[in-house]
Amino acid sequence: MPVDRDLLRDARAAADAWAEAQDRTELAKADYHHAVRRLHLAGASLREIADALDISHQRVHQMIDEAGGTEGWKPRLKVGDCSFCASTADEVDRLIAGPGVFVCDGCVRRFRAQPPLTSSTAECSFCDRPAAEDGWLAEQAGVRICDRCLEFCDEVLATQG
């Protein structure tokens, strides 16, 4: 008995639709895992994410690993700790926040007076730019700040005087 062509066409169309749905599902899963990873990299703990999404923290850990993990990322900072000297907000007069890094007034003064220099090809942790050709970078504890950002910090401190 020959295969019914109309039914065969319907079966092939259903197989194509199923394959497309599987592709969309895999893309949605990857998007979900990347969104969870971004939550963690933005500072949320595995347990906080798990509670918010109503899943186990072990599953959150698996998702983050599948999406690229956290290797190479800077450790989470407590808000208010100087990234250079680790002084807390209670121990300093002022803290200036950068994108995920902080510098205290004491480090700004110290670096302006005598910067611990690093190579000019390294990038500033505040502005992500390499030091200007005529500029420099100060580095301590694996965190760097360029002379332009230190000048900006000086201005901020002067206005808050």
Closest CA to 83 of 67, 96, 65: 96
The token pair that represents 82 in the structure block: 């100087």
DSSP secondary structure code for residue 3 in this structure:
P
> Cα 98 to chain center, whole Å?
13
Asked if residue 146 belongs to a known ligand binding site, the reply is no
Asked if residue 149 belongs to a known ligand binding site, the reply is no
The token pair that represents 80 in the structure block: 């208010």
Asked if residue 104 belongs to a known ligand binding site, the reply is yes
Number of CB atoms found within 10 A of residue 160's CB: 10
Asked if residue 85 belongs to a known ligand binding site, the reply is yes
Return the H-helix or E-strand segment holding 96. strand 95-97
> Cα 15 to chain center, whole Å?
41
| CB contact set of 147 (below 8 Å; sequence gap of 6+) | 115, 131, 132, 135, 136, 137, 138
Annotated binding site: 82, 85, 104, 107
Can you say which residues are annotated as belonging to the binding site for Zn(2+)?
A: 82, 85, 104, 107
